[in-house]
Structure 1
């Protein structure tokens, strides 16, 4: 006898999918490959959308990561020296736009604590009050490079801190990691109010200086700057610059290519984010 219910096919598919997930958890698998396959199938059947699939995959991915895998490396850490007066480190705060900074004593291996920028406000509004940077520091949380990222996220939430200093087996500082670094592994890049508005790939700062998103399509960049970078080599200008460096450059590094000077304005440990492009002063091709 045939089944006349038009929804029976979809109902069976959903039941089968749920049964497979239940079976995976009941069996307590030793690896995540089966669960990843189920997530991919659920997306293919439109039971979950692509964004949900990506987040689920991100959650699974961090369970295999260690702090060393996603930390901001030592060379890219923005720090403040404990003996610096406010007028010296204020430009550092304005340039980097972070909410927290490690405070060091002479070098990055000697962390005195963490400065939360908002803690300065009460003193900035009362210039007559005497205070020292040391007085307002929060304790620094120290973790080993081998710390599991999922366990660290749990610590961040339960203990209500947002930054940890990562040290190697000898106790030397190798980097730092924030709760945002972990969340970006799950939900993707988190843009804030200081990031460039999407679509503003090329912004003119001066007659010969431009701010360019590293993700600017190469054909757009070539057209704007009358360059001829090979589109078979990379699809974005960031790819061209990264290939030319031959390593992941840090903020402030520069290189000359195609008659232009490229200076890294913003980067993380995974990719270039923003470039400053400087044209020769004799070149007026895009000075409109």
Structure 2
């Protein structure tokens, strides 16, 4: 006997999922685990794409995080001194390729404001511009506590049109900085911009004893290239990223550093779920491919 409604089976499946979604907004499920099950079920039924699921999971993570969990720590902040001349701090701007810079007095805890790199354009293309004074172009700094919820900060960024905030501890000291990009990357993954160099090969020589390495580089290939024995360090790791992750003991953020043997390792890019790119600084006099590094 033929089925009068050939789509009834699929319709029933969709209805089942829709019923679950309705439950989410009518009081059920009662916890995050049950909500995650609904999302996983949606992906299994091809109702949402894996990328969509990843973003939903990112949103759920953001909802539970505090600013201290995602901020760039004080030691890694790139700042400008309000007493410097344009010629003195311009190399810092060019080298970092950032678009916003906290401007401080002699003490890092004394933040005077934020400098937008684009505000310097008028001083570079107008020969009649009067002498430059950084105090005239800096903008007010947004100050937030470490304990502030990331979700709340994102709303504040959007409403006030800020892109950067200075993070302070309970004593009022500067503990770091956070940007709207840091938050968005938790949801959508790493955001590459025009200044980010694409890395096509797994291992790229940058300068003297500094290399850029994809986190998924096989440990055997890494050992062969760098003439080391990292593959023997951890039986559970197959890639350099896996070994570095084990060394940290947590999912590191962009800019975090560690050391394995004589190699200094810095996280160049990562999101809340995976490492992507690492910067490897090897010791001087280390032999690579028959050559001694400077």
TM-score, reference length from structure 2 = 0.83
Per-residue deviation, 1:78: 0.9
1:234 and 2:237 matched? yes
Residues 6 and 119 of structure 1: CA distance in aligned 2, closer, same or farther (over 3 Å): same
Aligned to 1:221: 222
Aligned to 1:42: 42
Q: Is the 8 A contact 1:72 1:268 kept in 2?
A: no
Question: Which whole-Å deviations, capped at 9, do the CAs of 1:1-46 have from their partners, x for residues lacking one?
Answer: 9853221111111111111111220127663332221111101111
Question: Which whole-Å deviations, capped at 9, do the CAs of 1:209-231 have from their partners, x for residues lacking one?
Answer: 34222513322212222322126
* Aligned Cα root-mean-square deviation (Å): 3.1
Q: Which moved more, 1:242-251 or 1:214-223?
A: 242-251
Aligned to 1:201: 202
Per-residue deviation, 1:272: 8.5
Question: Which whole-Å deviations, capped at 9, do the CAs of 1:110-136 have from their partners, x for residues lacking one?
Answer: 110001001011112235521201110
TM-score, reference length from structure 1 = 0.85
Unaligned runs of 5+ in 2: none
Q: Is the 8 A contact 2:190 2:269 kept in 1?
A: no
CA distance in 1, matches of 2:246, 2:197: 24
Aligned to 1:191: 192
CA distance in 1, matches of 2:225, 2:33: 45
Aligned to 1:106: 106
Q: Which moved more, 1:219-228 or 1:42-51?
A: 219-228
Aligned to 1:163: 164
CA distance in 1, matches of 2:41, 2:225: 43
Aligned to 2:27: 27
CA distance in 1, matches of 2:34, 2:42: 12
Q: Which moved more, 1:165-174 or 1:24-33?
A: 24-33
Unaligned runs of 5+ in 1: none
Q: Is the 8 A contact 2:55 2:188 kept in 1?
A: yes
Q: Which moved more, 1:101-110 or 1:31-40?
A: 31-40
Question: Which whole-Å deviations, capped at 9, do the CAs of 1:62-111 have from their partners, x for residues lacking one?
Answer: 11111111111111111111111222222221222110010111122111
Residues 255 and 144 of structure 1: CA distance in aligned 2, closer, same or farther (over 3 Å): closer
The correspondence for 1:283, drawn from 280, 284, 287, is: 287
Residues 148 and 255 of structure 1: CA distance in aligned 2, closer, same or farther (over 3 Å): closer
CA distance in 1, matches of 2:260, 2:54: 37
CA distance in 1, matches of 2:276, 2:75: 15
